[in-house]
A = this chain, B = another copy of it.
Amino acid sequence: MRSEDIAKLAGVSRSTVSRVINNYSNVPEATRAKVLQVIEQYQYEPNSFARALAGKRTDTIGLFAISMNEKENATRIYQNSYFAPIVDLVVDTANARGFYVLIHTVYSPGDFQKIKQAFLQKRIDGGILVGTQKDIELVRELVSQEAPLVLIDYDISEIMAERLNKNHLAVINSMDYEGTVEAIEYLIQLGHREIGIIKGRMNTFSGRERNMAYENTLQKHGLPLVEDFILEGDFLKETAYREAARLALGGKLPTALFSSNDDMAISAMEAFSEHGISVPDQLSIIGFDDVQLAARISPKLTSVKLPIDDMAKAAVEKVIGLCNAEEPTFSTVSFPARLVIRDSCKPAGN
């Protein structure tokens, strides 16, 4: 069934059928009704490729998760507590707005080609990019394509600043710096003076922000950065577990630990528990992200809530906006990240 068939059946031309489908105003109600009736009756659906080829939009947006340079088992990206909610909200929000979403994961530069293709082949109207920015070069390539693009968790200053206003581009971030400050000051207020950190991946905007806020806040309050209490991490639980175990065996413990995300905080708690270190009695812990699991473990984890839902929703609204925009626009939004206090912290020294 093609528009031609509908036209014949309704006794009009293909042009008119097209006008009805596209909701043009210059069609008399009677004609419109007749055409719609036939369309309805035959369950006609215009071929999306023909429409797109003739200049219409694809009504599809891309969601691309970059996961390069991670361990082999990083294959489980969508089970990750960071990506899963993004997929969730992006799909739902886009669907609700009448868009399909095309998903592709980037594990290798080859995969990255596929997402460039998705744009070049005009499979999508616009895309959302989320992931580490280690491969910022590739991201820049994408930006330079000038297609509607939204970046989640990227450092604006690193993205071809000179071109920013020539693009249909938006960047969505969370206020990780402020959230971390709130967490560290909460600990300080509880009397902690020896505060450690499990760092996140440094090729990530949020990883750097959280670390910088940690360092700056300690310094601001005249507290020392003690090397033994600074654990290298990569946002993954395995590393955090190993590092926490090492700390536990090292003998000297901080009285509080800020973990750059919940996954690592929870693994560290497991490690401490196995080494007979009690949280929060001997060691207070704060995580970041506030994943579902945070409130389900014992003790319940105090954590900085990442506004991931808001970010994902905003990302979709932004791409759609960018797809509709005539002029190139660049914009950036940051959503606040607030501390959620639960049971994993105690006043120091008792």
Interface of A toward B, CB cutoff 8 Å: 43, 45-50, 52-53, 58, 60, 75-79, 81, 84-85, 87-88, 91-92, 95, 100-105, 111, 114, 117-118, 120-123, 266, 270, 292-293, 296-297
Contact = CB atoms under 8 A, between A and B. Distances in A.
Contacts of A53: 47, 49-50, 53
Given A91-B103, A270-B296, A122 B77 contact: no
Given A48-B121, A48-B123, A78-B88, 20 more contacts: A45-B117, A47-B122, A49-B50, A49-B52, A49-B53, A49-B121, A75-B92, A78-B91, A79-B84, A79-B85, A84-B84, A87-B87, A91-B103, A91-B104, A95-B105, A100-B103, A100-B123, A102-B102, A293-B293, A297-B297
Contacts of A114: 95, 100
Of residues A46, A47, A84, which shows the largest number of chain B Cβ atoms within 10 Å of its Cβ?
A84
A74 to B, nearest CB: 11
Binding site secondary structure of chain A: helix
How many copies the complex holds: the figure is 2
Contacts of A88: 75-79
19 contacts: A43-B120, A45-B121, A46-B121, A48-B121, A49-B49, A49-B52, A75-B92, A78-B78, A78-B85, A78-B87, A79-B84, A79-B85, A91-B103, A95-B111, A100-B123, A101-B103, A103-B103, A266-B296, A297-B297
